Amino acid sequence: MSNVFRRKTDVLIIGSGIAGCTAALILAEKGFDILMISAGKMGEDGNSVLAQGGIIYRGEDDDPELLERDILTAGWNMNYSKAVKFLATKGPEVVKELLIEKLKVPFSKKNDHLLFTKEGGHSKKRIIFCADHTGKTIMEYLTSQLKKYPNIHILDNSSAIDILTTHHHSLSLELKYQLKNQCVGAYVYNDNTHAVETILADFTVIATGGVGQIFLHTTNSTFAFGSGITMAYRAGARILNAEFIQFHPTALFHRSERKFLISEALRGEGARLVNSKGEPFMHKYDSRGDLAPRDIVTRAIVEEMFSTGEECVYLDVANFVKKDIKERFPTIYKKCKEVGIDIEKEPIPVVPAAHYFCGGILVDLKGRTTIDRLYAAGECTCTGVHGANRLASTSLLESVLWGYSVAKDIIKRFDTGSKLSKKILSSMPDWEFSGTKENEDPALIAQDWALIKHIMWNYVGIIRTTSRLKRAFEDLRQLNKRLNEFYKETMISRSIIHLFHAAQTAYIITTFAVKNKKSIGCHFRKN
């Protein structure tokens, strides 16, 4: 293979969810040249479009301090207080400015007033929503706006391979001796042309989302396997809190590649978790009952399943929700109906599934990473907001706020003339094709994926032990060693890139889990 392309842009955004799109929109308005990389199709794939519940705003009897308190409680006080305060005070302002006033996202209203709902861990009704398809609707309005800008260029079906940095890739010896490591862009595999593109950028933003696909059961999209985290890790960026994986308590118990999320908003509207006898059980585990934080509800469900020997528990909507279920939750109603469940008459079978990554690439309040010119936003980051466990509906708010903040900081740096020098740009080599063998066997790749998913689910899942983590660490170390050799000798392809990223993500998370001996939040250790 010899197809190599080289291009230069002002800002490279790897990822096309709410965080990446927010940053792109703010930057495009100022006239910057933007190149966006989407692993799937822009606006249709990724976790953002799957978000059902809503986004935090500010309720009528609410204030930032109350929200801060709820976030800290849910996060087991392992949160970064400055980031929590920033989200609680600045977040609603950006929602108003960008989503409500600029984009005019049609959040649900009654008599021209926004409707608010409450979810687990919240002390007030402060979440606004678009029925049960909030993420999808926000993404539709964002992408529609982005299409108006000719200075935004989108590469669909493309996978970033590696972050380009002065320390790791530059051919200039002088740059390697400098203490400051600078990001200069990325190598990107374009599945449409089967070419590797060298994309040089003054600033690069990682917004690749979560990691759920490395687990056997997940609510996440196909492309959520931590590619941005592994690229940042290999480049030397600091990763933090990677052991904290939030498992959503209620995913539809049905055989499918991706578990369908049954939103916590149902419980916010009164739905109750019950066992196979129809008996509510959450009060046995926590005084907050069905609206306890997610880590507590998830473990309660697992304990209940163990004690009853059942494969799932049930969410009773019909007997407890007083609103028009079809109108308030049309997506959930339709999906359940497709698999033969009428939620207006019968309970929904549910099980926990890997849902949200609370750790990731460490960033400050501006979205800056520990590598110069490299930013990150959204679920792939560790802002410090979530601590040891995420409070419901903080994720969309965090993505919008940090996407906005990243763009604002990049604009300021451009204003001060912070463009890359020609010397740095010219020192970056194009991708070298080391692999020559055409031995990409789909059966082998499928087996390696299955191995990763089963290891992570069984050993690094909801309940962890020292022996399980040790087994996972050893197995994943061997797998990564083997894949490294395979990766170097085999011709590059989309499926190999994805597998390589996934295996490294699993290894990083397991390493963090092994090191943290304390059982806290989503990192629950029996011993």
- Write down the domain spans for the chain: 4-244+358-426, 255-353, 442-515
CATH 3.40.50.300 fits 255-353, yes or no: no
Q: pLDDT value at position 194?
A: 87
End-to-end CA distance of the chain: give it in Å, rounded. 50
Instruction: Give me the sheet containing 245-252, strands edge to edge.
Output: 245-252, 348-357, 313-316, 272-274
Cα dist from 340 to 255, 271, 320, 336, whole Å: 13, 19, 20, 6
Q: Which residues are catalytic?
A: 294
Locate 126 and state its tokens: 């402060």
Q: pLDDT value at position 2?
A: 46
Q: Is 128 helix (H, G, I), strand (E, B) or coil?
A: strand
Please name which of 409, 402, 521, 411 lies closest in space to residue 87, comparing C-alpha atoms.
Answer: 402
Q: Tell me how far apart the alpha carbons of residues 333 and 336 are, in angstroms, rounded to a whole number.
A: 5
0.95 exceeded by pTM? no
Cα dist from 8 to 33, 47, 167, 186, 422, whole Å: 9, 28, 20, 11, 11
Please name which of 382, 377, 371 lies closest in space to residue 243, comparing C-alpha atoms.
Answer: 382
Q: pLDDT value at position 501?
A: 97
CATH number corresponding to 4-244+358-426: 3.50.50.60
> Do 4-244+358-426 and 255-353 show the same overall fold?
no
Please name which of 49, 65, 66, 53 lies closest in space to residue 130, comparing C-alpha atoms.
Answer: 53
Q: pLDDT value at position 435?
A: 65
Residue pair 501/480 in contact (Cβ under 8 Å)? The answer is no
Please name which of 10, 49, 5 lies closest in space to residue 33, comparing C-alpha atoms.
Answer: 10
The pLDDT tens digits along the chain (527 residues) read 445 689 999 999 999 999 999 999 999 999 999 999 999 888 787 888 888 889 999 888 899 999 999 999 999 999 999 999 999 999 999 999 999 999 999 999 998 899 998 888 899 999 999 988 899 999 999 999 999 999 999 999 999 999 999 999 888 888 888 889 999 999 999 988 888 999 999 999 999 999 999 998 898 989 999 999 999 999 999 999 999 999 988 999 887 667 888 988 899 889 999 998 899 999 999 999 998 888 889 989 988 888 888 889 999 999 998 888 888 898 899 999 999 999 999 999 999 999 999 999 999 999 999 999 999 999 999 999 999 999 989 999 999 999 999 999 999 999 887 899 999 999 999 988 776 666 678 888 999 999 999 999 999 999 999 999 999 999 999 999 999 888 777 888 899 999 999 999 999 999 999 999 999 999 999 88
CATH number corresponding to 442-515: 1.20.58.100
